[in-house]
């Protein structure tokens, strides 16, 4: 319950004044319903993160990776999105499994999405540990020549100003250091809207995922196209 209360406070306090347009969310849902066939040679995107990628308490096909994949292909950007999200993962746990995850991909990813840090914040772990772990994760992707788009997190305000000042800059700092793309706050499209959240008020429901896909699809598509071009 403490975890839920902390993130609920975050969702309420950090509420954005703008939602992703309804038409874009509807388009994301329609893309799933009319999913285009994925070419056999479609470039692979690895979605490496926690429950926000894993599709916590959603039906198969309703999580962010499969819906992003469907939207990209329907929008004319061939892609296969591999879901490497693990619910409950901290940045430390993710770092421990990163090498195994990458070594066991049948096809080398052309692009990676990295969405971690929320569980670090919920557990009140030192932001310096989160920063160091994310730095190590991104360094490994750099070493393997896999560009990254980071999907960021923000600290719950009830953790205090000092924690927030140490936690929130991690993602823009890491994006700058590693020349990664950045979605400043992954949950921004669903903030403060209970109709887009599961009953825990922590995770997006299927329609909430559509909103997040609509808000991030273009950025991911552009990053993928750039990554593909750089390999030619």
Active site residue 203: yes
> Cα separation of 8 and 14, whole Å?
10
- Return the sign of the alpha-carbon dihedral for residues 64, 70, 73, 75: negative
Query: Is 200 among the residues known to form the active site?
Result: yes
Q: What's the CA gap between 196 and 209, in Å, rounded?
A: 8
**What angle is formed at CA 58 by the lines to CA 52 and CA 62, rounded to 5 degrees?**
85
CB 74 within 8 A of CB 139: no
Residue of 19, 50, 51, 89 marked active site: 51
Of the listed 173, 194, 200, 222, which one is catalytic? 200
Tell me the CA distances in angstroms from 167 to 10, 121, 146, 174, 227, one per residue in order. Answer: 13, 8, 25, 12, 29
Burial class of residue 53 in the structure, from the number of CB atoms within 10 Å of its CB (0-12 exposed, 13-18 middle, 19+ buried): buried
Q: Catalytic residue positions?
A: 51, 200, 203
């Amino acid at each position: 319950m403490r975890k839920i209360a902390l993130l609920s406070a975050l969702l309420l306090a950090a509420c954005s004044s703008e939602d992703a347009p309804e038409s874009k969310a509807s388009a994301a849902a329609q893309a799933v319903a009319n999913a285009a066939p994925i070419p056999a040679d479609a470039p692979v995107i690895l979605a490496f993160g926690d429950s926000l990628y894993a599709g916590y308490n959603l039906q198969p096909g309703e999580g962010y990776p499969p819906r992003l994949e469907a939207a990209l292909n329907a929008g004319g950007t061939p892609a296969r999105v591999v879901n490497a999200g693990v619910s409950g993962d901290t940045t430390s746990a993710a770092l421990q499994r990163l090498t195994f995850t990458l070594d066991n991909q049948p096809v080398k990813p052309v692009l990676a999405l990295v969405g971690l840090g929320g569980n670090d914040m919920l557990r009140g772990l030192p932001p310096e540990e989160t920063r160091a772990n994310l730095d190590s994760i991104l360094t490994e992707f750099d070493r393997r020549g896999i560009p990254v788009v980071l999907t960021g997190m923000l600290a719950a305000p009830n953790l205090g100003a000092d924690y927030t000042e140490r936690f929130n800059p991690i993602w823009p700092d890491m994006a700058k250091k590693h020349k990664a793309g950045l979605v400043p706050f992954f949950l921004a499209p669903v903030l403060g809207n209970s109709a887009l959240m599961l009953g825990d008020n922590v995770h997006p429901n299927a329609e909430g995922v559509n909103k997040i896909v609509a808000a991030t699809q273009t950025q991911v598509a552009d990053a993928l196209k750039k990554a593909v071009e750089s390999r030619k």
